[in-house]
Amino acid sequence: MPRITKEDKARNRQNILDAAGRMFRLQGIDGVGIADLMKEAGLTHGGFYNHFASKHDLVVEVCGASFAASLGSLARTIEEGPGQRDAPLKRVVDEYLSPAHRDASDGGCPSASLVTDAGRYSEAVQGAYAEGVEGYLSGFAAEFLRQAEEEGRELGPDEARHKAMRLLSEMVGALMLARAVRHAEPGLSDEILRTSRGHALD
């Protein structure tokens, strides 16, 4: 039997994380068994414990990794600065509250797709989720402060954080509502997204 290299082991571990991220978003954490997860990752059931001590440990890591990827995308959008027509936060809102994100086959951003599961799970899982939320709040608040300075407006750190919290809450809530009704009432789902896109930054 060929020996598994460190590179092979690292790749297998990443395959498990990637598969879990997709499946947890789509099916919920409790809806995913280890056997099905490992099959999706292209690995055998028994190999799971070579990488993770428990499913719970996997959940914590997936939550952290999912937010890290999402926050990386946010950071890149903000670093790009204003586009030809839209400011960075407007682009973030438009993408987040788009039909494409609502219908994402991998469940999209973990802020909405894992929110219910995080509320039911352990302090460690909630801690990973909270760290992701704080990342969004920090990124949004920093951009609000930058915009205010650029436009010569006064905006304190506390007010910027409050604006960031309102923005994130509306984005996540609107996306969850739009997903909840998209098959039964597609017009209502589109209306929720459209209305929130138009007013999230008011």
Which residue from 104, 130, 100, 124 is spatially nearest to 21, judged by alpha carbons?
104
pTM score: 0.91
For all residues of the chain together, what is the average pLDDT?
94
Query: In the prediction, which pLDDT does 5 show?
Result: 87
Contact 95, 74 (CB under 8 A): no
Residues 6+ apart with CB under 8 A from 3: none
Query: In the prediction, which pLDDT does 80 show?
Result: 86
Q: Take residue 63 and report the two structure tokens written for it.
A: 């939550």
For residue 141, give Cα distances in angstroms to 55, 89, 100, 155, 166: 34, 10, 26, 10, 11
Please state which of the four CATH numbers 2.130.10.10, 1.10.10.60, 1.10.600.10, 1.10.150.130 is assigned to the domain occupying 1-52.
1.10.10.60
The answer on pLDDT for 95 being more than 80 is: yes
For residue 113, give Cα distances in angstroms to 7, 80, 168, 170, 177: 31, 26, 14, 15, 12
Q: Take residue 183 and report the two structure tokens written for it.
A: 């098959």
Please state which of the four CATH numbers 1.10.10.10, 1.10.357.10, 1.10.150.120, 2.40.30.30 is assigned to the domain occupying 55-199.
1.10.357.10
Residue by residue, DSSP assigns 44-70 as: -GGGGGGT-S-HHHHHHHHHHHHHHHH
Place of tokens 């670093």: 79
Specify the domain boundaries for CATH 1.10.357.10 within the chain.
55-199
Query: In the prediction, which pLDDT does 122 show?
Result: 94
pLDDT for 33-89, tens place per residue? 999 999 999 999 989 999 999 999 999 999 999 999 999 999 999 988 776 567 999
Q: How confident is the model at residue 129 (pLDDT cuts 50, 70, 90)?
A: very high
Query: In the prediction, which pLDDT does 9 show?
Result: 92
pLDDT for 2-43, tens place per residue? 567 889 899 999 999 999 999 999 999 999 999 999 999 999
The answer on pLDDT for 168 being more than 90 is: yes
Specify the domain boundaries for CATH 1.10.10.60 within the chain.
1-52
Q: How confident is the model at residue 104 (pLDDT cuts 50, 70, 90)?
A: very high
Contact 69, 61 (CB under 8 A): no
pLDDT for 133-157, tens place per residue? 999 999 999 999 999 999 999 999 9
φ, ψ for residue 160, nearest 5 deg: -65, -40
